[in-house]
Structures are given as C-alpha cells and as structure tokens.
Structure 1
Amino acid sequence: MTEHHHPAAATPSARLAPGTWDLHPAASRIAFRHRIVWGLVPVEGVFHEVSGAGEIRSDGSVTGLISIVAASLDTGNARRDGHLRSSDFLDTGAYPAITFAVHREDLPAPDGPAEVLGTLSVKGIGRPVPVAASVRRTAPDTVVLTGRATVTPASHRVRMPRALGFMRPTTEVEVDLTFVRDPVPG
C-alpha cells in the first residue's frame, strides 16, 4: 500500500492487554478483488477457512500468524475456483496454506489506525506486505482488525495467463479479523 497509517499515541491504560489473542474464524473474513479486462471487470472472492493467533508481550511488541487454507477460496464460480486452485495459479495441492506472519515493534492503540507489518507467504515465497488497518475494541477482551493491502501475485510466482494479459498486476485484499484474548490462567 502506498498510504501508511501510524497509530496514535496511547496511554498505557488504553493499550490492549498482554497475552495471547486467538482469531475467531466464524467472526472473521478475508476477501480479495482482482480486476480483469483492462480493469473493468472485478473478480471477487473470499477464503472460507482461516485460523491464527497473536501475542501481545508485556513490552508492547506484537507477533502473530494468520493461516488461510488456500483451497477454501470461493469466487462463486466453481470452474474458475478450480482453475485458481490448480498449478496454473495457487497450486493448492503443493502449497495448501497462505500465511501472514505479523511482526511489529510497538502495539497499536485500540480504537484507532495502525499499520500492520508482516510477511505474506504464497506458494512458499514470503514478501513483506504492510496492511493499512484500524483496530476497534468491541468488548474488554475482543478486538476487530479491519484492513486493506495491495498484493502483487507475480511476486509469489502466481502467473497470469498470457491470453489474459489485460489483467491488472495487483490484487486488493480486505480483512475483518476478530480476536479474542485467552483468559489469564489463574
């Protein structure tokens, strides 16, 4: 993404609590949009199977991993989905997971903008991808991260057929991820 958001300064009491935050798959969504035919026709889809967790450490650093079952993609067209799963595109037989490993030095403030920094791995190739996001606390131990990123499929060895050379070289990804904090053992 070319637009970067930086978290607003937050007081320690406004920060999210340290601990493990698990992704709630049923309340989360990862969608994509790629334009074809000179950018006039959008192909949109979602991934139905996603899992993950993040850790907020006591020093305020954040790490995490989001894992997507690549074969769970759904554009609403079974023939196209089969082709996208094939070795021509995502090769889900050889590379069953798409992952996003989060690495961030400082904790974003809840209820504000953030830039989530991480490495997106597709077909075994990891590339840095910033996600312009916002974090919204919906309950004391629940947050929703909403974000957008632009991904270049070719940088992950996802080839576009020559016959479709009029496809845009980038794919827009949108996420709405709900995280719930693990109870503190006690």
Structure 2
Amino acid sequence: MTAAVETGLWQLDTTRSVIAVSHVTMWGMVTVKGEFNGLTGEGEVRPDGTVSGAVTLDAASLDTKHKKRDEHLRSADFFDVEHHPTLVFAVRDAVFRQSGVVEVEGQLTVRGVSRPQTATVKVTESSADAIALTTEFTVDREQFGMGWNRLGMMRGLTTVTSTLRFTRASA
C-alpha cells in the first residue's frame, strides 16, 4: 500500500480508535496494561503535503482493570489528573515514505511537561473518506515527572500502542 492520503480535514473516529499503554513492573515479573477510554483528535493534510493535528487523551480515562491501581495512576504520583486532566500528542511534521510508512515528529505533553516524540506510523487504510494508522513507541515516564518507583518496582520505558482511525470532517 502506498501512503497516498487525501488532503483535507480529518476527525478521529473515537469508536474505532484505541490508545493503550503497557509497563513492566514488580521487578520485571508483571506487565501492567491499560487503555485510555476518553480520546479526541483531528488532523489536516494540506495540498503541499504538510500535516498537522493532535490527539488528546483524558488522563482519568486510563483503565487497567484494577480500580485501586487506576486511582493511584490518577494521583499526583503519576498523571495528577486534578491539575493535568489531559495528555496531548501534537504532530509537528510528517514525512510519507514508501509502503505506507509515515515518519511523524511531534510533541507529547504529559503533566504540563512537553517533550519531542517521534513515531513510525503505518497507514493501514487510506481512502477518500477514512485513514487508519497504527504505531508503537516508548516513553520515559520520568521525563514527565512520573518518577514514583517504590522499592524499584517500576523500571524501564512505557510502551504506547495506538490504532487511530480518522474520517473526513464535514465542511
């Protein structure tokens, strides 16, 4: 598949999009997985080939299927949702490659801290009315002020995976 993506405005299809995280804990013995249930997003592909857009996550919507852990993740030890209710990935540049691959440069903002973030994105669907993208990248949570690590339980990077489907926005 080529990465031919139609120009125009695109809106995230929240019913067919998923953003998940996983992190190895308990000294490497357990992988905690969760999904964000609250997400929004939009994008624009301009005639000159430049791309802009953003995906916003409701930090309180992370669901790991463990109520007490989810409450702790919402606390000041991690996402601090009271003061920082959203996480945002804003696209700064995108370069379309062969075989449906897009190199994306963006800015990830978590807990009010913004850092550059790159991702290699695969275009899995591209038509006049829909675009679907998949990616996986890692994040160092300590760079965003989430250094909680009781007894050294949490080491390494957090893996973020996403399947995002956008539909053409109405004019």
1:27 aligns with 2:11: no
Higher strand share: 2
* CA displacement 1:41-86 (0-9 Å, x = unmatched): 1000000000010011111000101000000000000000000001
Task: Identify the match of residue 71 of structure 1 among 40, 44, 60.
Answer: 60
Give the equivalent residue in structure 1 for 2:123. 135
Structure 1 unaligned residues grouped into runs of 5+ = 1-7
| Structure 1 outlier segments of 4+, above 6 Å | none
* CA displacement 1:136-183 (0-9 Å, x = unmatched): 2254311111000100000000122332x1322310000000001124
Give secondary structure in 2 for the equivalent of 1:38: helix
Give the equivalent residue in structure 1 for 2:82. 93
Give secondary structure in 2 for the equivalent of 1:159: coil
**What is the TM-score when the length of structure 2 is the normalising length?**
0.92
Structure 2 unaligned residues grouped into runs of 5+ = none
Distance 1:25 1:109, change over 3 A: farther
CA–CA separation in structure 2 for the residues paired with 1:79 and 1:34 = 17
- Alignment identity in percent? 38
Give the equivalent residue in structure 2 for 1:156. 144
Give secondary structure in 2 for the equivalent of 1:146: strand
**What is the TM-score when the length of structure 1 is the normalising length?**
0.85
In structure 2, what residue type is equivalent to 1:16?
V
Distance 1:17 1:142, change over 3 A: same
In structure 1, what residue type is equivalent to 2:105?
L
Distance 1:110 1:142, change over 3 A: farther
Q: How many residues align?
A: 171
Contact 1:62 1:104 in 2 (8 A): yes
Taking only aligned residues, the RMSD between alpha carbons, in angstroms, comes to 1.9
CA–CA separation in structure 1 for the residues paired with 2:129 and 2:89 = 23
Contact 1:111 1:136 in 2 (8 A): no
Distance 1:110 1:22, change over 3 A: farther
